[in-house]
Amino acid sequence: MRSHLATPERTTSWIKVLRPQDVLLLVLFAGLAAASDTRDATEILLLVAIATLQIAGPKIPALGTQRGKVLWIVLELLFVWVLLGHSGAQTEWGWSAGGGLKSNYHLLLLLPMISAATYLGVVGSGLMTLLCCGAYLSFLLFVNYTDFTLAREDIQVLVMWTLSFALVGNLVNVLAEALRVQSAKSRQAAEELAEANRNLSQAELAVRRSDRLAALGQLSAGLAHELRNPLGTIRASAEMLSRSVPADNAVAREVAGFIASEVDRSNSLVTRFLDFARPLQLKLAPSDIGEVLDRAVTLVERDAPQHRVTFYKNYSPDLAPFLFDAELMERVFYNLLLNAAQASEEGGAVTLKTRLLDGTAEVAVIDRGPGIDPKIREQIFNPFFTTKGNGVGLGLAIVSKIVDEHGGKMAVESEPGKGSIFRVLLPMHHKT
């Protein structure tokens, strides 16, 4: 059995279409029609048309543009003008005596004036006020002055009504402009609040990441110091074993060599742990960011010749030398460029781009690799997180730490299948 009760969705849609003030307007227009002296069908239809325009005009999408709003308000003025002429013709004045001037509906000329002040701004409101005054006085053109003479009192009434229209139009315009200014301030405050919320969220993420880095750094330092002593003992024992093994025992010598090489690899990892855990001491000096990038490119080409990619450089001439630790930032760019080269196909391209952005130096490393899965994008700067089979997950963590120490920011844009962009933002004026 189908229910005749309105669902919440239907009720909501009706509320959006028909507001309480719209219902009030309908009641008021119905009152005008009921209070009219005549029961002329044309007059009723004109009132319905004006009410429809006043209520439905702002809700029609096609009239949402500036030109559409002008068309809607001009149509409203036209219907009011026709209503004045038609209703005035029913009075003792008639058309030949400019009956529209004596119509009981002349106050409806305020509707297009108010609509213009609401939607068309200062200039549009002023022009519409002039049009409304002109529409009212236009009925003087229909007066047959050979048979009818305007008395002095009539002229005074016309002047008073015209000036009253102009005064009301100006007052409505002032109020609407004040409302627009206040709305603009409210929108600006809302945008500033949204930006502050975004900055706060980023700051909270940065603080949490810094806390994690600090805790993991302390853990890494403790483990590294504890591991170095036994590693040293194992290395020394392997060397002694190698020297004491007979020359003809190839297997024993090979095993001793494996022990030594694995100890060296483990010791290298311990060193990286210590580098991550050790507090950074920035050596700030005026440096050219382009020269640092060039050195990083040279190191990547030397250390990873198997990753045959072409590096394209697009350096901004607006970036003058500024204070930063060139050695540490070279390490940052080396890691980012090496990752970009490893992510690119053989013969691919990696682009380096710099620019000046609101007192900040931005360096972008762009590759055309497979991109980063959105599910892990927020984790790539976490220590010990890696997608490489032989990685330890400290490269990007150290990169992030160095950039943070400079007071900068890291940003990542990536789309699966289309590549990634790593942005390094460094303040041009470092705060000590």
Distance, CA of 299 to CA of 146 (rounded, Å) = 102
Lowest mean pLDDT among 24-33, 68-77, 98-107: 98-107
- For residue 89, pLDDT over 70 is answered with no
Mean pLDDT of 40-57: 81
Run of H or E including 363:
strand 360-367
DSSP alpha helix (H) spans, 313-422: 326-343, 395-405
More confident residue, 15 or 402: 402
Lowest mean pLDDT among 99-108, 223-232, 385-394: 385-394
DSSP alpha helix (H) spans, 90-151: 110-119, 121-137
* Mean per-residue pLDDT of the chain: 78
- Number of CB atoms found within 10 A of residue 113's CB: 26
CA dihedral 72, 166, 138, 123 (to 10 degrees): -40
pLDDT in tens, 362-375: 999 999 888 887 77
Which CA distances in Å does 324 have to 125, 297, 313, 330, 358?
A: 57, 19, 21, 11, 17
Q: What pLDDT is recorded for position 14?
A: 42
Q: What pLDDT is recorded for position 152?
A: 77
Among 153, 121, 131, residue whose Cα is nearest residue 77: 131
Q: What pLDDT is recorded for position 5?
A: 44
pLDDT in tens, 409-419: 888 888 888 88
Q: What pLDDT is recorded for position 7?
A: 45
Q: Which of 69-83, 259-273, 311-325 has the highest mean pLDDT?
A: 311-325
Q: What are phi and psi of 384, to 5 degrees?
A: 70, 10
pLDDT in tens, 253-299: 777 777 877 777 777 777 766 666 666 778 889 999 999 999 999 98
CATH of 183-279, one of 1.10.287, 1.20.58, 1.10.600, 2.20.25: 1.10.287
Q: Which CATH class is domain 281-432?
A: alpha beta
Q: How confident is the model at residue 217 (pLDDT cuts 50, 70, 90)?
A: low
Q: How confident is the model at residue 424 (pLDDT cuts 50, 70, 90)?
A: very high
Mean pLDDT of 51-60: 78
For residue 246, the Cα-to-chain-centroid distance in whole angstroms is 73
Q: How confident is the model at residue 12 (pLDDT cuts 50, 70, 90)?
A: very low
Break the chain into its structural domains and give their ranges: 8-150, 183-279, 281-432
Distance, CA of 319 to CA of 306 (rounded, Å) = 32
